[in-house]
């Protein structure tokens, strides 16, 4: 197998609306202009809207793309599966809606020359188009995270645009996979607010150097976010992380 420079992991759960907008074509067109080798790993998380048929057809026509068909484990399980299967020297995970466009990866990639192990996108300087409920949720999450979890020097933990060196990603996500015992089946949409916090918290515990980089981001309308329910769930996610930390499970 030839050495791959970049792996891009994209979780997908009932993403037909975004797929029909041509998001994968945009990713493919951008990466094909690069001089380095790449792979795009789409992890279907047990979709029920027929989108998996769309993705199967796309990867058949685009050899640098491949599909992993997961049972429905939620975004955390899908991202973890994709990263552990990735072969690139650098591994990026990004969202299918491309709220942070794939072009922003250049900003992250350049930072590894400075000796960083993990480089993450940050939306804090601009959250264009976000309704006030989402902004309020974000501020509440930041406040609770600062109170409960000591993540040093990072303002935006939740941006779905994060890049890792391959060796770092393998060690980190094997640890996460082990902590969650491979993840369990979930019902309905499951985008855990605690996942990104836990990833970065464990990464700091492991001594990795993390760089936060401002990226362009545009709010994409979704019916999966419920401000009240998701805020409550996010709070309990943080409490669970705090309890694990107190018990020493992250050592």
pLDDT per residue over 129-185, tens digit each?
Answer: 555 555 666 666 666 676 678 788 898 888 999 999 999 999 999 999 999 988 877
Q: pTM for the full model?
A: 0.88
Q: Tens digit of pLDDT for each residue in 189-228?
A: 555 668 999 999 999 999 999 999 999 988 775 555 666 6
The token duo for 118 is: 């993990």
Least confident of 78-82, 218-222, 245-249: 218-222
SS (H, E, C) 51-81: HHHHHHHHHHHCCCEEEEEECCCHHHHHHHH
**pLDDT over 70 percentage in the chain:** 82
Residue pair 86/41 in contact (Cβ under 8 Å)? The answer is: yes
Q: What are the structural domains of the chain?
A: 6-247 (3.90.550.10)
Give residue 129's pLDDT.
54
């Amino acid at each position: 197998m030839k050495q791959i420079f970049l792996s891009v992991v994209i979780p997908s759960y009932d993403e037909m609306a975004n797929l029909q907008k041509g998001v994968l074509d945009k990713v493919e067109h951008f990466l094909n202009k690069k001089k380095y080798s790449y792979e795009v790993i789409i992890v279907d998380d047990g979709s029920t809207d027929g989108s998996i048929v769309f993705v199967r057809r796309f990867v058949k026509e685009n050899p640098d793309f491949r599909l992993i068909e997961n049972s429905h484990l939620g975004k955390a399980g899908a991202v973890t599966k994709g990263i552990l299967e990735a072969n690139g020297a650098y591994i990026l995970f990004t969202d299918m809606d491309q709220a942070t466009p794939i072009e922003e990866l250049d900003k992250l990639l350049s930072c590894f020359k400075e000796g960083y192990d993990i480089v993450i996108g940050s939306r804090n300087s601009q959250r264009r188009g976000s309704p006030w409920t989402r902004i309020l949720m974000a501020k509440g999450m930041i406040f609770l995270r600062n109170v409960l979890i000591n993540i040093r020097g990072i303002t935006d933990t939740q941006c779905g645009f994060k890049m890792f060196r391959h060796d770092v990603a393998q060690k980190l996500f094997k640890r996460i996979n082990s902590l969650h015992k491979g993840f369990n089946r979930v019902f309905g949409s499951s985008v855990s607010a605690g996942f990104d916090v836990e990833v970065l918290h464990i990464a700091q515990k492991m001594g990795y150097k993390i760089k936060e980089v401002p990226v362009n981001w545009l709010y994409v309308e979704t019916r999966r976010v419920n401000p009240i329910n998701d805020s409550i769930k996010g709070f309990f996610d943080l409490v669970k992380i705090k309890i694990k930390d107190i018990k020493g499970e992250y050592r």
